[in-house]
Structure 1
Amino acid sequence: MTQQTQQSKGGKEVLIISGAITVAFVIFGILFPDQLSSGSSWLFGFLTAKFGWLYLISVSFFVLFALGLAISPYGKIKLGQDDDKPEFSNFQWFAMLFGGGMGIGLVFWSISEPIMHFLSPPSAEPGTTAAMYEAMRTVFFHWGIHPWAIFATGGLALAYFQFRKGLPFLISSSFEPLLGDRIHGPIGKTIDILAVFATIFGVATSLGLGAGQIVGGLNNIWGIENNTLVTSIVIAVITVIFTVATVSGLHKAMQMVANFKVWLSVAFMVFLFIFGGTVFILNIFTNTTGGYFGNLIQQSLWMENESFIQGWTVFYWAWWIAWAPFVGQFVARVSKGRSIREFLLSVMLLPAGFGFIWLSIYGGAAFNLDAISGGAIQAAVGADYTTGLFATLQQLPLYALTGPLAIILILACFVGAADSATYVLAMLTSNGSMNPSKNSRTAWGIAQGAVTIILIIAGGSTILSILQTVSIVAAFPFMFVMLFMCYSIIKALRTEKI
């Protein structure tokens, strides 16, 4: 049997096993939603209580690994052959990195998270000015350099072994220095299955939050009831839309959606910056940026308030690890011809910097308008955290226009994330093919929607808890994959002539 035949067979094995696990999960969730919910709660408590420290140490290591590698002599090595040139101009590349950071999560949490931390801060007195600044610093921490160091590490492995070593665009390829040809065997396929598992549930978390925010907006604007059934219907309808678009080959339409999402996002930022309190926002940005960098090392390993760390930071670190195959694939594909140093520093710092501006504008406007309105926004978030964005826009002019536009923005982010995740899942189960079949993409699109709906049903009124749980559980084994991946990258780089 030739190596190509073995790889093809291995790709089918990954597809069959991953598909079987997904189908089994969906069936179990349909038949035993209560057991899924209770089992998830137990797993959440066990992993966060026993291994929360490991998530913090591992993610801190990824930051040090990426920074150390970027400034080392290996940083000048190209992601490609020595004479390869970047496929995109610097402006195009930077724009795509920024675009990769504008997803459902950032739209969802940019107002709700600061307000939630303000009401229940890690250490400050709730509802005080100190709590506001601590809340913003915590949000910067969760959306700053740490997550992008995770994505940069995963993306580096994919880009280096694909573009420089000519291996399949698979997570398992990054273990070639350690496993040799065994990356095409059971061990390699297990790694790829773990990547699929992490991607499914990491993205399902985002889709679940996005759907909840859409329904929260529909309730806020038009009074449509916010319940599990309506949320599930929203997910099902959007799943049909992006799946049909994928099957029909409407690539231009999807590109238009992506471009529209970027411009609408920028429009909202400008609108909030102008009408949400410009000076207040600039003060928030300045103070929080200084506090973020001044407390970065201590906050990276801070566990004094364990319940807060387990419910927020551990959840985020797990969520980002689960997203590593997804976002890593995106940043790798657009970075051929870049040096390792250029890649790592740009991926870590540019999207994080953009995120700081985004969060300062949204969070700053929310705090300013909340004070002006006598606490209307914190009251809304306290009652339903999915309505934070709409409660903020409601305090500004043109809500009859901006409210529906906000729902459209979330829909665009939802469709974009689901479409990209479907493509990545199809690629991971097609032996790293850059152009997976439409059948594969269709199947994974439907599966992604089904998994998200099951999580919504199982979560019920505690949906955030079960979404946190699946991210943490999915990321746990993949965290070890990424740690060994770092060692494998170093071993491969040592063979380079520098």
Structure 2
Amino acid sequence: MRQEKKISTNKTDTPVFIVSGGLIILFVLLSLMDLDRVGNWITASFNVSAKYFGSYWQLLLLANLLIGLGLAVSKYGKVRLGNKAKPENSYYRWVAMILCTLMASGGVFWAASEPMYHFINNPPLFNDNSSSMAGVEPALAQSFMHWGFMAWSILGTLATIVLMYAHYHKGFPLKPRAMLYPLFGEKIFRKSIVGSIADIISIVAVAAGTMGPIGFLGMQLTYGLHSLFGVPNTLFTNIIVIAVLVVIAAISVATGVDRGIQFLSRMNVGLTVFLAIVMLIVGPTMFIINKFISAEGFHLQNLLTMSTYQGDQAWLGAWTVFFWGWFLGYGPMMAIFISRISRGRTIRELVLAVAVVAPLVSNFWFTVVGGSGIEAELSNPGVISDPLSNGGMPAAVMAIMDQMPLGLWLAIGFLIVTLVFVATTVDSISYTVAVTLTGNDRPKKWIRVFWVLLFGVLSTILLAIDPGSVTAIQNSIVVTAVPVSLLMLPTLWDAVKIARELGKEQHIGLSNGKPVNEEE
């Protein structure tokens, strides 16, 4: 298929740059002037969002997963995306980069703490078997639901199909507004207010979701360094940690997706696999394996029930709806990143990698880390839950490591993996923001590095204001998820239409399914 170049994909969108950057800086300034008022506003806005959009988000993520899986198993699963005959990246490199998108936010600290939270207080959907052997499966299954199939699917399946079609097959800019292309046509790219709003809210949402984890990482790693080596737990130490993170991310994003980001992702996935194997060997091996199998079965058996649960609204707002809003906020930018690295892949490969393989890896990792904590808690009640209650998520990680042979070395490994995980998220997010502002999947180096530095500086300022400001901006991504979720709604049917159209062009079902006239 010949690619049609209709609109420039090299010019920086100045209005979107100014407005989105201005809103982000405005948030920091308002936090500097009155953090309590900003926090109260975000809390009130979140409560309204959860009340009126929570059920919609639950159905949106469920529908996104089911439609994606339906396309994958249909004849349209053979459709090749990206106007390219062969994939640009090997399967391992490709999946490694995918894994480093979501795992960075929850791959370490949430993996240790969420299963424990649900274990000591079983989710309201299930019988109350808290802190007992019967409560292990519900605790792990609920964590799987939050970090599993639906969470990964919303980050890079249907939206990715639409974006790749608009950019690589039709030649339009690779921007969040491209998700509206099937609905509005090419006018969405021509000084469109709706298009600009789509880009702006996507940038603001993902900026909130990136600056929060940077600050959060600074605090968590500082806690770990203090716990292990007695390093002072101060703002200065936090700033040094963030500076190291920013330097790693800046070097990675400057060298591009095909070099720095790919290398960092492969290295980090390798380190994580090594860490998991060591924990599996020296930890409660059979408990981890058996509970992963049984909890995954419990998860699959109750997936529809958990995903549509409407009982305890306060619990939903604190857990499922919060996570769904968080992941929706990341959705457009992660879809852009996965679009860039997935050229030449089929719809079936895309859906299976993003919505099946990555979640299963994530679920097993949660079982290795969280399951080890649960086993220790069963043997010695309070050994993990007390540090978690008193010191939060980083204390839970350190407490789990303390219960294992080679605990010191495992804890150091966790700190390294966490640093690199978040660095890979920062570099990929900075890259996608640069792509959004230019519409080009190879934006200029300076604009990629600029966003890394901006995120680092603003995160440091927020941390200096008050640690609560980091939580505030991280929670604000849930508020921005309201318009982002409306932006992503049309992909539910547009992805199907695009699959059918490309299927006809590539003669899927009519011959051997081999695409025609692709770019080599």
TM-score for the superposition, normalised by structure 2? 0.86
- Provide the rounded CA distance (Å) in 1 between the counterparts of 2:118 and 2:366: 14
- Provide the rounded CA distance (Å) in 2 between the counterparts of 1:228 and 1:290: 44
The answer as to whether partners of 2:401 and 2:408 remain within 8 angstroms in 1 is: no
Which residue matches 2:146?
A: 142
Which structure 1 residue ranges, 5 or more long, are not aligned? none
- Provide the rounded CA distance (Å) in 2 between the counterparts of 1:183 and 1:214: 43
Match of 1:335 among 319, 339, 342: 342
Which residue matches 2:66?
A: 64
- Provide the rounded CA distance (Å) in 2 between the counterparts of 1:202 and 1:232: 19
The answer as to whether partners of 1:29 and 1:454 remain within 8 angstroms in 2 is: no
Which residue matches 2:130?
A: 126
Query: How has the CA–CA distance of structure 1 residues 339 and 8 changed in structure 2, closer, same or farther, with 3 Å as cutoff?
Result: closer
Matched, 1:425 2:433: yes
Matched, 1:169 2:169: no
The answer as to whether partners of 1:14 and 1:192 remain within 8 angstroms in 2 is: yes
- Provide the rounded CA distance (Å) in 1 between the counterparts of 2:367 and 2:337: 26
Deviation at 1:334, TM superposition (A): 2.4
Q: Once the two structures are aligned, what percentage of the paired residues are identical?
A: 29
Which residue matches 1:412?
A: 420
Matched, 1:116 2:117: yes
Deviation at 1:247, TM superposition (A): 5.3
Match of 2:403 among 395, 400, 414: 395
Which residue matches 1:485?
A: 491
Which residue matches 1:43?
A: 45
Deviation at 1:23, TM superposition (A): 2.0
The answer as to whether partners of 1:142 and 1:313 remain within 8 angstroms in 2 is: yes
Which residue matches 1:290?
A: 297
- Provide the rounded CA distance (Å) in 2 between the counterparts of 1:454 and 1:46: 28
Query: How has the CA–CA distance of structure 1 residues 209 and 118 changed in structure 2, closer, same or farther, with 3 Å as cutoff?
Result: farther
Which residue matches 1:314?
A: 321
The answer as to whether partners of 2:71 and 2:77 remain within 8 angstroms in 1 is: yes
Amino acid in structure 1 at the alignment position of 2:188: I
- Provide the rounded CA distance (Å) in 1 between the counterparts of 2:31 and 2:200: 20
- Provide the rounded CA distance (Å) in 1 between the counterparts of 2:399 and 2:68: 39
Tell me how many residue pairs correspond in the alignment: 493
- Provide the rounded CA distance (Å) in 2 between the counterparts of 1:327 and 1:228: 31
Deviation at 1:150, TM superposition (A): 0.4
- Provide the rounded CA distance (Å) in 1 between the counterparts of 2:373 and 2:431: 35
Measured on the aligned residues, the alpha-carbon RMSD in Å equals 2.8
- Provide the rounded CA distance (Å) in 2 between the counterparts of 1:232 and 1:238: 10
Which residue matches 1:447?
A: 454
After superposition, residues 77-88 of structure 1 pair within 5 angstroms as: 77-81=79-83, 84-88=85-89
SS of the residue 2:489 aligns to: helix
Q: Deviations over 1:184-213 (max 9, x none)?
A: 222222211122122212223433443332
- Provide the rounded CA distance (Å) in 1 between the counterparts of 2:318 and 2:350: 32
Deviation at 1:174, TM superposition (A): 3.0
The answer as to whether partners of 1:136 and 1:288 remain within 8 angstroms in 2 is: yes
Q: Deviations over 1:229-271 (max 9, x none)?
A: 6545533453355336655889866655433322221121011
- Provide the rounded CA distance (Å) in 1 between the counterparts of 2:118 and 2:86: 45
The answer as to whether partners of 1:276 and 1:369 remain within 8 angstroms in 2 is: no
Amino acid in structure 2 at the alignment position of 1:53: S
Higher helix share: 1
More deviation in 45-54 or 105-114? Answer: 45-54
Q: Deviations over 1:437-491 (max 9, x none)?
A: 2332233112222443455467645965x35621211211100000023333344
Which residue matches 1:190?
A: 197
The answer as to whether partners of 1:116 and 1:382 remain within 8 angstroms in 2 is: no
- Provide the rounded CA distance (Å) in 1 between the counterparts of 2:314 and 2:240: 34
Match of 2:186 among 157, 169, 181: 181
- Provide the rounded CA distance (Å) in 1 between the counterparts of 2:399 and 2:334: 30
The answer as to whether partners of 2:96 and 2:265 remain within 8 angstroms in 1 is: no
Query: How has the CA–CA distance of structure 1 residues 231 and 314 changed in structure 2, closer, same or farther, with 3 Å as cutoff?
Result: farther
- Provide the rounded CA distance (Å) in 2 between the counterparts of 1:392 and 1:408: 17
Matched, 1:159 2:161: no
Deviation at 1:287, TM superposition (A): 1.2
More deviation in 317-326 or 441-450? Answer: 441-450
TM-score for the superposition, normalised by structure 1? 0.90
Query: How has the CA–CA distance of structure 1 residues 10 and 488 changed in structure 2, closer, same or farther, with 3 Å as cutoff?
Result: farther
Query: How has the CA–CA distance of structure 1 residues 485 and 234 changed in structure 2, closer, same or farther, with 3 Å as cutoff?
Result: same
More deviation in 135-144 or 200-209? Answer: 200-209
Deviation at 1:180, TM superposition (A): 1.8
Which residue matches 1:204?
A: 211
More deviation in 402-411 or 288-297? Answer: 402-411
Deviation at 1:342, TM superposition (A): 2.7
- Provide the rounded CA distance (Å) in 2 between the counterparts of 1:360 and 1:265: 14
- Provide the rounded CA distance (Å) in 1 between the counterparts of 2:480 and 2:94: 30
- Provide the rounded CA distance (Å) in 2 between the counterparts of 1:237 and 1:25: 24
Which structure 2 residue ranges, 5 or more long, are not aligned? 509-520
